[in-house]
């Protein structure tokens, strides 16, 4: 493998450890990805000795010298060199207690260090010592697991997972990213000790969920999470979607599997993490709104409104960002049916303007979500919808060019209204402003100052107000 160890850091390490009579290896994800021909962005170095000392020596050999970040509590150090994050750790032996992910750590050998790794494919180590440069250390047959596309733990799976329960989700994430199969014993072990996921912080869990959502086919991981029972613990709102009820011989669709299809479909058309999250959560309120109505069938009335309301609570519980990203997902969930309604009917300009107004710059994303939401097995139906979406997109474009609704700013401000009618801040101002906005969206007046001003005068009159000042020439 030595011809693949091209990053300049390997040579530097090799020289230092030769002089100091140490042993060091490149280990973990980098080695795995080398065999898989995947690009990695970080390099993990394990040294039998002090990782921090080795990092310091490496940093001082790099010209110009680079900074290192030292994490004393973990005995690790990190530096950035040639676009890679390089992490140094001393080989260690770990023993775990039941109630914590934090192990008791002692110095150890390479083997001890490989024993504490999560999967056999992540325990591969290449020697960096001159004599054995590039030689593979593979005590658990990780290479053969790599070739057979298998995820397996180095020790008894229950031991490995119980020591650090995050590994259960990491395994599912690797299976999804790499298209590998988790061995049945490991799946069984997850089912047995799934409850231990509760000691893992939400941030770590969400990191893994994000990585699953960023793969080409997140349904693989989401199904594994469901089948092992982990999803029920970490995301009960999603497992609540997984059922089918029948009344009077009428069944509704399984909204969990529908959601997975929508997520997989949207991944073909966007790399945006938060749009993928919106796809995952778009029907989240279907269980809460489900009703069987005689003569009509199953309905989920208002699931978009209730769903949007659920988003902040879900984000908060999972310690996800409570900022514009959450607002974006909430908005997508709220609006997800709107393009479909437009695509079902003859599209009026007014409805298109309203959608543009409500979606703003996120209109493209909303269309992408709505298109992914079509999962019917009836090809004719699918084609009809997709074709109608094309018409909606064309209308959106035409109307945006004509009326510039997307970043709508009211052409007549509250200030102008106050001055014209000599009003103090009051209810009337809001009424007039809304009336102007509605008139523009309904196409009754154009989106410009002149027409909006005229309309304001008319509305004022209807409310019994008299214009006291003429500001019609003010713009």
Residues that bind ligand ATP (CB under 6 A): 28-29, 42, 44, 117-118, 122, 164, 166-167, 170
Residues forming beta bridges with residue 47, ordered by sequence position: 24, 90
Judged by beta carbon distances under 5 to 8 A according to partner kind, the member of ligand ATP, Mg ion, none in contact with residue 164 is ligand ATP
CA distance 454 to 450: 6
Judged by beta carbon distances under 5 to 8 A according to partner kind, the member of ligand ATP, Mg ion, none in contact with residue 264 is none
Q: 47 vs 343, which CB is nearer to Mg ion?
A: 47
CB of 329 to ligand ATP, least distance (A): 24
CB of 34 to Mg ion, least distance (A): 12
Q: 99 vs 248, which CB is nearer to ligand ATP?
A: 99
CB of 164 to ligand ATP, least distance (A): 5
CB of 93 to ligand ATP, least distance (A): 13
Q: 7 vs 309, which CB is nearer to Mg ion?
A: 7
Q: 151 vs 275, which CB is nearer to ligand ATP?
A: 151
Judged by beta carbon distances under 5 to 8 A according to partner kind, the member of Mg ion, ligand ATP, none in contact with residue 115 is none
CB of 214 to Mg ion, least distance (A): 14
CB of 410 to ligand ATP, least distance (A): 48
Residue number closest to Mg ion, CB atom: 29
Q: 113 vs 362, which CB is nearer to ligand ATP?
A: 113
Asked if 224 and 182 count as a contact pair (C-beta separation under 8 A), the reply is yes
Asked if 244 and 251 count as a contact pair (C-beta separation under 8 A), the reply is yes
> What are the distances in angstroms from CA 14 to CA 21, 42, 238, 332, 453?
10, 18, 50, 52, 77
Judged by beta carbon distances under 5 to 8 A according to partner kind, the member of Mg ion, ligand ATP, none in contact with residue 122 is ligand ATP
Q: Which residue has the tokens 């994000």?
A: 210
DSSP codes of every residue in 344-363: HSPPPHHHHHHHHHHHGGGH
Q: 45 vs 335, which CB is nearer to ligand ATP?
A: 45
Q: 42 vs 232, which CB is nearer to Mg ion?
A: 42
Q: Which residue has the tokens 């003859």?
A: 346
Half-sphere exposure of 39 (CA within 13 A, CB side): 3
Asked if 416 and 471 count as a contact pair (C-beta separation under 8 A), the reply is yes
Q: 29 vs 139, which CB is nearer to ligand ATP?
A: 29
Asked if 52 and 70 count as a contact pair (C-beta separation under 8 A), the reply is yes
Judged by the rule CB under 5 A, the positions of this chain that interact with Mg ion are 29, 42
- Judging by beta carbons within 10 Å of its beta carbon (0-12, 13-18, 19+), is residue 29 exposed, middle or buried? middle
Cβ partners under 8 Å of residue 295, min gap 6: none
Judged by beta carbon distances under 5 to 8 A according to partner kind, the member of Mg ion, ligand ATP, none in contact with residue 167 is ligand ATP
Task: Please provide the size of the chain in residues.
Answer: 475
Judged by beta carbon distances under 5 to 8 A according to partner kind, the member of Mg ion, ligand ATP, none in contact with residue 420 is none
The token pair at 442 is 């309904």
Phi-psi region of 443 (alpha: psi -120 to 50; beta: other; left: phi over 0): left
The token pair at 286 is 């279907």
CA distance 229 to 132: 45
Largest CA distance in the chain: 96
CB of 5 to ligand ATP, least distance (A): 16
Q: 182 vs 369, which CB is nearer to ligand ATP?
A: 182
Judged by beta carbon distances under 5 to 8 A according to partner kind, the member of ligand ATP, Mg ion, none in contact with residue 118 is ligand ATP
CB of 105 to ligand ATP, least distance (A): 13
Judged by beta carbon distances under 5 to 8 A according to partner kind, the member of Mg ion, ligand ATP, none in contact with residue 339 is none
Judged by beta carbon distances under 5 to 8 A according to partner kind, the member of ligand ATP, Mg ion, none in contact with residue 49 is none
Q: 98 vs 346, which CB is nearer to ligand ATP?
A: 98
Residue number closest to ligand ATP, CB atom: 29
CB of 5 to Mg ion, least distance (A): 16
CB of 122 to ligand ATP, least distance (A): 3
CA distance 457 to 446: 15
Q: In what order do the strands lie in the sheet with 136-137?
A: 68-71, 76-81, 84-90, 42-47, 24-27, 125-127, 136-137
């Amino acid at each position: 493998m030595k011809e693949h160890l091209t990053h300049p850091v390997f040579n530097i390490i090799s020289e230092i450890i030769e002089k100091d009579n140490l042993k060091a290896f490149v280990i973990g994800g980098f080695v795995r990805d080398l065999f898989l021909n995947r690009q990695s962005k970080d390099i993990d170095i394990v040294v039998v000795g002090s990782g921090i000392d080795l990092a310091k020596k490496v940093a001082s050999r790099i010209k110009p010298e680079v900074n290192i970040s030292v994490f004393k509590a973990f005995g690790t150090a990190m530096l950035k060199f040639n676009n890679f994050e390089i992490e140094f750790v001393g080989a260690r032996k770990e023993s775990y207690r039941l109630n914590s992910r934090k192990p008791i750590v002692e110095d150890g050998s390479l083997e001890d260090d490989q024993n504490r790794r999560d999967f056999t494919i992540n325990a591969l180590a290449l020697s960096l010592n001159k004599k054995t440069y590039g030689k593979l250390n593979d005590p658990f047959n990780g290479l053969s697991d790599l070739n057979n596309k298998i995820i397996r733990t180095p020790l008894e799976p229950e031991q490995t997972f119980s020591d650090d329960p995050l590994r259960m989700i990491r395994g599912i994430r690797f299976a999804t990213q790499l298209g590998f199969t988790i061995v049945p014993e490991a799946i069984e072990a997850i089912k047995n000790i799934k409850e231990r996921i509760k000691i893992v912080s939400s941030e770590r869990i969400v990191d893994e969920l994000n990585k699953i959502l960023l793969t080409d086919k997140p349904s693989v991981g989401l199904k594994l999470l469901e089948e092992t029972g982990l999803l029920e613990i970490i995301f009960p709102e999603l497992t609540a979607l997984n059922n089918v009820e029948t009344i009077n011989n009428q069944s509704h669709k399984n909204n969990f599997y529908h959601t997975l299809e929508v997520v997989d479909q949207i991944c073909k058309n966007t790399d945006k993490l938060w749009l993928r999250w919106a796809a995952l959560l778009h029907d989240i309120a279907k269980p809460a709104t489900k009703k069987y109505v005689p003569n009509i069938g199953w309905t989920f009335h208002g699931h978009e409104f209730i769903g949007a309301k659920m988003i902040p609570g879900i984000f908060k519980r999972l310690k996800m960002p409570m900022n514009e990203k959450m607002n974006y997902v909430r908005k997508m969930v709220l609006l997800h049916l709107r393009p479909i309604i437009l695509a079902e009917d003859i599209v009026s300009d007014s409805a298109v303007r309203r959608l543009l107004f409500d979606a703003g710059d996120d209109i493209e994303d909303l269309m992408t979500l709505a298109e992914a939401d079509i999962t019917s097995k009836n090809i004719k139906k699918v084609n009809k919808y997709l074709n109608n979406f094309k018409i909606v997109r064309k209308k959106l474009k035409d109307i945006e060019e004509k009326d510039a609704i997307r970043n709508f700013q009211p052409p007549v401000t509250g200030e102008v209204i106050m001055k014209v009618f000599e009003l103090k801040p009051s209810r009337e101002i809001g009424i007039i402003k809304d009336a102007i906005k509605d008139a523009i969206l309904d196409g009754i007046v154009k989106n410009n100052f002149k027409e909006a001003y005229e309309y304001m005068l008319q509305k004022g009159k209807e409310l019994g107000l008299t214009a006291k000042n003429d500001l019609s020439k003010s713009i």
